Amino acid sequence: MPSSLCEALTNSSISFDYQKEDDWITSGKLGSREAVLVFRTNILNPKIRKTLSEKSSAQVLTDTKDNEEEAVECQEKLEQKESTSSEPSSKDSLSGSTQQKIFLLKKPQQCDKSDKLTFSSPFKKILNRYSSSDTSISSEGEEPASSSENKSRVLKTSQNNINIKLAADLSKESGYESTAPAKSISNTVVSEEDPEVTSEDDDESGTNMPASKLKITYKFHQTETKLLRKLFNVHGLTEVQGENNNFNLLWTGVHMKLDIVRNLAPYQRVNHFPRSYEMTRKDRLYKNIERMQHLRGMKHFDIVPQTFVLPIESRDLVVAHNKHRGPWIVKPAASSRGRGIFIVNSPDQIPQDEQAVVSKYIVDPLCIDGHKCDLRVYVLVTSFDPLIIYLYEEGIVRLATVKYDRHADNLWNPCMHLCNYSINKYHSDYIRSSDAQDEDVGHKWTLSALLRHLKLQSCDTRQLMLNIEDLIIKAVLACAQSIISACRMFVPNGNNCFELYGFDILIDNALKPWLLEINLSPSMGVDSPLDTKVKSCLMADLLTCVGIPAYSPEMRSHYDQKWSRFRSSSCQRQATFPCASQKTKKSKKKGPAINLNLTGEEQRILRNARLQYSRRGGFVRIFPTDDSMQRYGNFLDSANGIPISTPNVQSQTFQTPIIQHNYNQMLHQNLYSKDGRQKQEDNSEADRIWQYERALETDSEIPFVKKPTVEKCEVEGRRLRKVMLKKISNGSELTPFQARQTFSIYLESVLRRLTEDPKDNHEKIILKFLNKFGGSIKPPVMFRNMQNIKVASKARSAMVAKLLGDFLENYKRDTEAYVDSFDHFGMIPSSAYNQFLMHAQESDLEAVLTLHTNVTGIMPFLYNRCGLSVPPTPPIPSGLHGFLRALPSMVSSTGINRELSKYDGYFKSFDKEKIFL
Ligand code: ADP
């Protein structure tokens, strides 16, 4: 059996042109089950990628030879494994050479105290995130920024710091600018940030990388993360699509279907846990935490603002309001990005039938230079039993554009009260930092910059971060029980699932953190160099930490066979109690001490935890820590270590056929034993705080590249407009796809004008249109009547623009269902029409839409031709903005929803909150 694996290895003649394979593979030699890929941010930089690929052709030969030798080693190792169950071997243990090569270089946190002192500038210096030992590579990097950067620069605009107008970017972001009509609209869960970056024309295929030679694959499902795609590509992973489930890593934007989870092989990884909506749905999260408040005491779980789910708890809300008056913040239960949120002074301002989550509004938020801010921190859970939680060392601070004023008159103003980027980016005063080093400039900062800023003001940042860690752990504990039982039922292997959660945290002016929500699939969109830096490092570290097994297809089939044998006996696995035969023999090899009393499964867990910790990059493990059992042990079941959130759970869920293990206790004991043996892990409170406060710094610049765009030619646009108008007059029609393309590019122009040059009456028209249109883009109650917002202002324009932006996003997604693969008789040929769209200005688009509507009497951009309830087409006045003025009268408030619902099913699954479990 082992020989087949080694045959597979030798037959595949793997050689690596970049560098030695152990720079790109870690935790074990190639061929071992522990070997995983290494991801680094430095090869996102095309210059460095080129250097890497040029420098090492001479290594190919040696590496090929090395690999043959390794195949033999691998065979020996597998044989040993067979005989010693899951006992770790020295070759791929932490003390092994492979590890040392990588990790000696890597960790500032592994420096001793004197090292720390010499680290004068507070950088999270990461040496390429898994840097190679090749200094020529890092010398390509940026100059380290001076410590003077540490000084506070609150919301200043500098020469470097330009207010990049959204308007200037919008047309560039439009997928329709491309001449390829069908594929230009992305089939995505759209992120909070503008997904505009990261396409370059240099080679991104990573063909020389180990992952390419090993044919490691990834699959995206209902998500599109350009940054992630690029990371995969440059590291040599290839994409599989469609029904092909032969992936190593599945990255989905929604919760997973059970049949996929159930059939995962040991080498496959997916980026969600089953039932994690227990954490990521606002209503579920609050209910879970509320239960813990009742069970464990309010003082331990006072981590969320008081919350009610309407309409069920309307009465409780009124009672609470009578005790402590508002304001209250009203959020749709299954929504995100600030959509549909409004603030009221009293519950009677909330419509009776509103299905919403209503929370006590925190009126005294921490402000920076007078602007309200909140935090997005990234939390990685690699296992729920045992619980292993990491917090990424860097996070993002989002600032509201308008200065905070708690006076009730301002409650309508989303750019003052909500910190979402997707709202504030439409405000014409919104400032983006234009340099990755500017971490405390404009309306988006880094967490470390905030901490340094607060420290300068003598705030207790240590306590703040400890409270944030505590809040995260408690939120996970509150939701874990149900997720653990789903994992036990559906997840076949301990390492199949991992999940990165985006925690939104508001800090009040007493520095108490409050959990607002937990995001499933936090946005990896990047809109500035700062975003690119933080998210690239985050993603590279995430992939390395969770570990994508370095299996070749040949090795995979070997494990597949083994897996099917294992699966057929998997029912017994859970019911089996540890017995003497499972205890492993004493290891003769060096490496971390092995506790002889551990079962094979426990040894695997311990070994994985250690290896993962050694690959953690910028992730800070916050559970388990030295004192975690002391602090949280009371919330865990004393017998099996499961976080308990229901009083009678022991008798119901976890006891009967399942073994009485206590993985949390076992792991803690072995990682942090105090019984005379050497402490295994160094993850002290001081280390963690120090890591949060340092600025994130990469050795090589991570490029922030905007999409290349085709320059529009006004004259050509006018010429083509005439051609199109003539065709329409002669009886040609736009296909529904062309009509929808035209309408969305037209609305993008309107959106641009709303932010550049707001016009009161245009805002009203758009609101009226969206109000009649309904659906999820309906304006929040307070804004449905423009008269409620008396003053025309930049904030009001931003709010209308945000609503229109949300509408457009959905509309473009829906348009994909209309793509034509060939030209129809009597319709305008697609190639000619695409030429027109490429150069058309707003007036050209308006002229075409107007004539087409008047001549044909149909509105294919809003209604399906054979729909049942299409309202009569109103006459469209010609002339400037005539089409816009007629827009609200084109919508029948009842008809459109029915019409569009035809396509609802197609896109339903894009809803971030869609639940499969
Ligand atoms: P979404 O998922 O739509 O982004 P959030 O719960 O994150 O909704 O809230 C959006 C914004 O509203 C946050 O950025 C925060 O600034 C503000 N916010 C939310 N809840 C509260 C609250 N209870 N008190 C004060 N501000 C809040």
The per-residue pLDDT for range 436-454, each reduced to its tens digit, is 888 888 899 999 999 999 9
- φ, ψ (nearest 5 deg) of residue 360: -60, 130
Question: Which whole number is the average pLDDT over 524-541?
Answer: 90
Q: At how many degrees (to 10) do helices 794-815 and 736-756 cross?
A: 160
Q: Is 300 exposed, middle or buried (0-12, 13-18, 19+ CB in 10 A)?
A: middle
Distance between terminal CA atoms of the chain?
38
Establish whether the linkage from the previous residue to 624 is cis, with ω within 30° of 0: yes
User: Is the distance from CB of 917 to CB of 258 less than 8 angstroms?
Assistant: yes
Q: Of all protein residues, whose CA lies closest to atom 19 belonging to ligand 1?
A: 516
pLDDT(902) > 80: no
pLDDT of residue 782: 58
Q: Mind listing the pLDDT tens digit for each residue in 403-418?
A: 999 888 788 888 899 9
pLDDT(303) > 90: yes
Verify whether ligand 1 is closer than 6 Å to residue 515 (CB atom): no
> Which amino acid is located at 78 in the chain?
L
Distance of CA 363 from the midpoint of ligand 1 (Å) = 12
pLDDT(745) > 80: yes
Verify whether ligand 1 is closer than 6 Å to residue 275 (CB atom): no
175 — pLDDT class (breaks 50, 70, 90): very low
User: Is the distance from CB of 152 to CB of 369 less than 8 angstroms?
Assistant: no
Question: Which whole number is the average pLDDT over 492-515?
Answer: 95
Of the candidates 176, 327, 325, the residue with the CA atom closest to the CA atom of residue 747: 176
Closest atom of ligand 1 relative to the 359 alpha carbon: 23
Distance of CA 830 from the midpoint of ligand 1 (Å) = 44
Distance of CA 392 from the midpoint of ligand 1 (Å) = 21
* Sign of the CA dihedral with 604 first, then 607, 613, and 615 last: negative
Verify whether ligand 1 is closer than 6 Å to residue 66 (CB atom): no
CA angle 338, 344, 347 (to 5 degrees): 120
Q: Mind listing the pLDDT tens digit for each residue in 208-220?
A: 788 888 889 999 9
Secondary element (H or E) of residue 251: strand 249-252
Give 51's Cβ-side CA count (13 Å radius). Answer: 17
Average pLDDT of the chain is: 74
Please give the Cα distance from 384 to 401 (Å, whole number): 38
User: Is the distance from CB of 41 to CB of 128 less than 8 angstroms?
Assistant: yes
**Secondary structure E strands in 385-483:** 387-392, 396-399, 444-446
Q: pTM score, two decimals? A: 0.77
Closest atom of ligand 1 relative to the 360 alpha carbon: 23
Verify whether ligand 1 is closer than 6 Å to residue 305 (CB atom): yes
Verify whether ligand 1 is closer than 6 Å to residue 504 (CB atom): yes
pLDDT of residue 700: 66
pLDDT(545) > 80: yes
pLDDT(26) > 90: no
> Which amino acid is located at 860 in the chain?
P
400 — pLDDT class (breaks 50, 70, 90): very high
Secondary element (H or E) of residue 37: strand 36-37
Verify whether ligand 1 is closer than 6 Å to residue 366 (CB atom): no
* Sign of the CA dihedral with 616 first, then 470, 330, and 797 last: negative
683 — pLDDT class (breaks 50, 70, 90): confident
Question: Which whole number is the average pLDDT over 91-96?
Answer: 31
pLDDT of residue 203: 61
Verify whether ligand 1 is closer than 6 Å to residue 27 (CB atom): no
Q: Of all protein residues, whose CA lies closest to atom 20 belonging to ligand 1?
A: 516
Question: Which whole number is the average pLDDT over 786-797?
Answer: 64
772 — pLDDT class (breaks 50, 70, 90): confident
491 — pLDDT class (breaks 50, 70, 90): very high
Distance of CA 331 from the midpoint of ligand 1 (Å) = 8
pLDDT of residue 248: 92
Verify whether ligand 1 is closer than 6 Å to residue 549 (CB atom): no
Please give the Cα distance from 533 to 89 (Å, whole number): 37
pLDDT(294) > 70: yes
Q: Extract the tokens encoding 816.
A: 């994909």
CA angle 643, 645, 649 (to 5 degrees): 90
Edge-to-edge strand order for the sheet containing 217-221?
238-239, 217-221, 249-252, 269-270
| Percent of the chain predicted with pLDDT > 70 | 67
> Which DSSP symbol is given to 268?
-
pLDDT(589) > 50: no
pLDDT of residue 374: 96
> Which amino acid is located at 275 in the chain?
R
pLDDT of residue 432: 84
Of the candidates 744, 810, 797, the residue with the CA atom closest to the CA atom of residue 767: 797
- Listed range (368-377, 486-495, 659-668, 903-912) with the worst mean pLDDT: 903-912
Q: Mind listing the pLDDT tens digit for each residue in 11-25?
A: 444 555 555 555 888
pLDDT of residue 596: 61
> Which amino acid is located at 641 in the chain?
G
- φ, ψ (nearest 5 deg) of residue 499: -155, 135
Q: Of the residues 191, 329, 345, 415, which should be mutated to test ligand 1's pocket, given the most ligand atoms within 8 Å of the CB?
A: 329
pLDDT(78) > 50: no
Please give the Cα distance from 104 to 127 (Å, whole number): 11
Question: Which whole number is the average pLDDT over 861-867?
Answer: 73
pLDDT of residue 793: 73
